[in-house]
A = this chain, B = another copy of it.
Amino acid sequence: MSSSAPAPSHLAFVPFVSVENMMALVHRIGIDTFLRELADYLEADFKRWPEFDKTPRIAAHSAEGVIELMPTSDSSLYGFKYVNGHPKNMKEGLQTVTAFGMLADVSSGYPTLLSEMTILTALRTAATSAMAARHLAPANSRTMAIIGNGAQSEFQAIAFRELVGIRALRLYDIDRTASEKCARNLAGMGFDITICDTIEVAVEDADIITTVTADKQCATILTDNMVGAGVHINAVGGDCPGKTELHRDILLRSSIFVEYPSQTRIEGEIQQLPEDHPVTELWEVIAGKTAGRTGKSQITLFDSVGFAIEDFSALRYVRDKLEETGLFEKLDMVADPDDPRDLFGMLQRSKMAVAS
């Protein structure tokens, strides 16, 4: 473009965090600190939950998977995430879940951040699980079983170490090489890691059971007899219609905590239960309005499906880290003519600028 072309205003450029810059940001901050600070952002937003515009995500289902848009906003900031879920991708060497998201200014509608969210979603999912467990898991939990050792497993492990104090991991996956991959990735991080041959063995003596499998079907990863009194279950993998991980009998013995009931009743483990089965909204626990765990023998269940406000918190955290780190590019994404009524004139002048 010729230098005679009018320079776009700063609002025309949207900060963009690429995959490479997201990875650099995590390393710059340190993944432990990142997860702790992210959990603080999540807690702050859960505490002001009623301030948000909330809607169940908008899903486009196909035979092979689902593509979803997850918007939310408060009075000043709007955010949404694009995310897919395609279990068959893994066999083709692709990610089951990929995502990106953005923030925009409510008062002008102008985008203010675009970011990769495949990595960021993994971090926010783990941070949300650990934040919930901080309020729901037995005091002094040290041992966690992780059933399903795919892309989310290491993030869960580190978040629970940082936020809950987990030291011992009991890994199980239907494919033992996934467990070995998880153990290898977490080596030297202070965990006592056991790869288990069966789910029964994995959950033995676990204070917390995390289920994070990826099949798009009603599976029964945990049966009733596997779950002892006092355990906290962090059910992450059952997160869309027709996709569950827990036997119904477990749900009937548990105190169930959810993010956004009208979404969870469609997507979560509780899709197996009647519409009026009592559940507690997690934000009420975080905000101190309702008790979390109330007894030693109580089974607590965080029936996690992921909600838009968690992505909003994560994007807000990333945005607040950009200025100090400089780990972003600027995208020429918003047409911004000098005279806002003169979009066509801007287009015409760009032709002259190219020609000159």
A residues at B contact (CB < 8 Å): 1, 8, 11-12, 16, 18-20, 22-24, 26-27, 31, 53, 55, 58, 60, 62, 64-67, 69, 71, 73, 75, 78, 80, 82, 84-86, 89-90, 92-96, 98, 100, 102, 104, 106-111, 116, 118-119, 122, 149-155, 178, 181, 185, 331-348, 350-351, 354
Contact = CB atoms under 8 A, between A and B. Distances in A.
Contact of A27 (B18, B106, B354): B354
B94 A20 contact: no
Nearest to A337: B95
Contact of A333 (B86, B116, B350): B116
Contacts of A18: 331-333
A145 to B, nearest CB: 18
Given A19-B333, A82-B102, A118-B335, A151 B344 contact: yes
A270 B74 CA distance: 31
Contact of A181 (B22, B23, B67, B341): B341
Q: Majority SS of interface residues in chain A?
A: mixed
17 contacts: A18-B331, A62-B75, A84-B109, A86-B107, A92-B108, A93-B340, A94-B110, A95-B337, A118-B334, A119-B343, A149-B341, A151-B343, A151-B344, A152-B343, A154-B344, A181-B345, A185-B342
Count of identical protomers in the assembly: 2
Nearest to A57: B58
B84 A350 contact: no
Given A154-B344, A341-B181, A109 B86 contact: yes
A354 to B, nearest CB: 7
B67 A78 contact: yes
A292 to B, nearest CB: 29
Contacts of A20: 1, 332, 350
A58 to B, nearest CB: 6
A67 B109 contact: yes
A82 B93 CA distance: 30
A71 B60 contact: yes
A112 to B, nearest CB: 12
A84 B100 contact: no
Contact of A98 (B66, B89, B111, B338): B111
